[in-house]
Amino acid sequence: MNKKTIWITGASTGIGKALSIKFANEGWNVAISARRENLLKEISNSSENIHDFPLDVTDKSKCNEVFNDIKKKFQNIDICFFSTGTWNPKKEKDIDVEQIENVFKVNFFGTLNSIKAVEEYFKNKKAGIITIVSSIAGYRGLPNTTGYGPSKSALISLAESLYFDFERHN
């Protein structure tokens, strides 16, 4: 029996890191991606089931390249878990348009770039799971989230919209 495979973005810390370790301990092939290569290497060195694929999700072509590398290595991907995110509460105290644009570039467009990289693969396969991590801040305004909250709200709407688009492909 072939091992199942999961690709996790935002895997250098937090939920992504914890999930990487959990799936590896369950015997899955775990492909992890994030910008901080040193942290990815540390995590991949902790388990023979974890393999690092450094990635800045704001780079569309790199998202495609990394996904193709993962397909080449494992042949089959069962789950994509996109948990990329950035938030700096100190920088979000004021309306800083450049800061908000950067947060959207990572949180929303970075996730969208990742989804686009796997779209045809999953539609053609007619199986698999794409998971998008959002936040409670996407449902309700919270202090110091001028960019973070709206970016997570956009992810919630994206996920709800994509559900219908992918549903017809199983």
For position 30, what pLDDT does the model report? Answer: 98
Two structure tokens written together for 56 = 């800045």
Would you say 122 and 166 are in contact if contact means Cβ atoms under 8 Å apart?
yes
Tens-place pLDDT, residues 99-120: 999 999 999 999 999 999 999 9
Q: Is the pTM of this model over 0.75?
A: yes
Detail the DSSP E strand segments found in the chain. 5-9, 29-33, 50-52, 79-82, 129-132
Half-sphere exposure of 155 toward its Cβ, with a 13 Å CA cutoff? 33
The residues facing 81 across adjacent strands are 8, 131
∠ Cα 23 106 29 (to 5°): 20
Tens-place pLDDT, residues 81-94: 999 998 887 777 88
